[in-house]
């Protein structure tokens, strides 16, 4: 019996999110329910905790979507976990086979539930099988902390994250749409995957994050600077920015559109969507004996008409 519990615990420690598969046997649900502008506001629907528990996979603890499997004793399991338990029911250890729990699937199809981001402002009510898709696109879903210098797990809306960046990460806050920063590194030949988010800019009633990072591109050390918008991508496209670095009568200029913080810092960096400076060029711009990095990066943000 002890070995069964160990097996069950091991499976539960490895959750897997499964997209709900299409199922022709279920009631057809219109796509309009996933559009916040088209979803009618309905009275709040209370679903008993016992029904919620019935729809919870006993292994990954996520909500179950078709096909929902059951063993001969009636214990249910989601389709994602079935191959992971080696075709054995995690509750009674009987062989699972290919029995499908159509009754539970139909019960789920009859439910309407509030969005899990209700506390963030979403007031829509969605059919069970549309709820997951809506939540993946919900405009009220919280943002991840954009600070790139640590694995911060804080989430929240923009005002909360701005305060968090200032108070917890001690990030410099700057009012205005222009900037002039100097980056100094005493030993530029030691390039770690170090990240600095130097400033949060407040302008045009919005917030922007400026990143500067040294990292390895293959065997070559490079520096990259880029801007992220604290909001969604559709709003970020209303703005543009430019970055400029130079020295010794030469300069490099980058112009682009800030990326939404919905895109992770690493995703933006790895797409090279910013001002990229090779180390030799950076040392040339630094002047002197090339033993110390001294880069001055200037730039501005503007709103497109």
pTM exceeds cut of 0.75: no
Distance between CA atoms of residues 130 and 124, nearest Å: 12
Count other C-beta atoms under 10 Å from residue 287's C-beta: 11
Q: What is the DSSP letter of 29?
A: -
Distance between CA atoms of residues 163 and 122, nearest Å: 22
Torsion of CA 109, 113, 117, 119, to 10 degrees: -170
Element holding 184 (H helix, E strand) = strand 178-185
Token pair listed for 74: 């009636």
Distance between CA atoms of residues 138 and 155, nearest Å: 15
Count other C-beta atoms under 10 Å from residue 282's C-beta: 23
**Model confidence pLDDT, tens digit, residues 110-146:** 888 889 899 888 999 999 888 889 998 999 999 999 9
CATH numbers and ranges of domains, the chain: 46-110 (3.30.40.10), 156-303 (2.60.210.10)
Count other C-beta atoms under 10 Å from residue 98's C-beta: 8
* DSSP codes, 213-249: EEEEETTEEEEEEEEEESS-HHHHTTEEEEEEEEETT
189 CB-side CA count, 13 A: 2
**Model confidence pLDDT, tens digit, residues 156-207:** 999 999 999 999 999 999 999 998 888 777 765 665 545 566 689 999 999 9
Inform me whether the pLDDT recorded for 42 exceeds 90: no
């Amino acid at each position: 019996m002890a070995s069964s519990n160990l097996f069950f615990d091991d499976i539960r420690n490895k959750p897997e999110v499964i997209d709900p598969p299409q199922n022709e046997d279920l009631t057809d649900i219109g796509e309009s329910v996933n559009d916040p502008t088209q979803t009618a506001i309905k009275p709040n629907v209370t679903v008993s905790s016992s029904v919620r528990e019935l729809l919870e996979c006993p292994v990954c603890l996520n909500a179950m979507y078709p096909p929902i499997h059951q063993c001969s004793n009636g214990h249910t399991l989601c389709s994602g976990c079935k191959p992971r338990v080696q075709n054995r029911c995690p509750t009674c250890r009987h062989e699972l086979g290919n029995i499908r729990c159509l009754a539970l699937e139909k019960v789920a199809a009859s439910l309407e539930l509030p969005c899990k981001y209700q506390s963030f402002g979403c007031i829509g009510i969605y059919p069970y099988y549309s709820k997951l898709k809506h939540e993946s696109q919900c405009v009220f879903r919280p943002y991840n902390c954009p600070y790139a210098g640590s694995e911060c797990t804080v989430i929240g809306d923009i005002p909360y994250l701005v305060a968090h960046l200032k108070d917890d990460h001690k990030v410099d806050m700057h009012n205005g749409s222009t900037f002039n920063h100097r980056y100094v590194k005493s030993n530029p030949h030691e390039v770690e995957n170090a990240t600095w988010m130097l400033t949060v800019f407040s302008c045009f009633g919005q917030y922007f994050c400026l990143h500067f990072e040294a990292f390895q591109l293959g065997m070559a050390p490079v520096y990259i600077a880029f801007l992220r918008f604290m909001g969604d991508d559709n709003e970020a496209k209303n703005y543009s920015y430019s970055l400029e670095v130079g020295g010794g009568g030469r300069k490099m200029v980058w112009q682009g559109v800030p990326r939404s913080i919905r895109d992770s810092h690493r995703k933006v960096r790895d797409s090279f969507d910013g001002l990229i400076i090779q180390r030799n060029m950076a040392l040339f711009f630094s002047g002197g004996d090339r033993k110390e990095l001294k880069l001055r990066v200037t730039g501005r943000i503007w709103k497109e008409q």
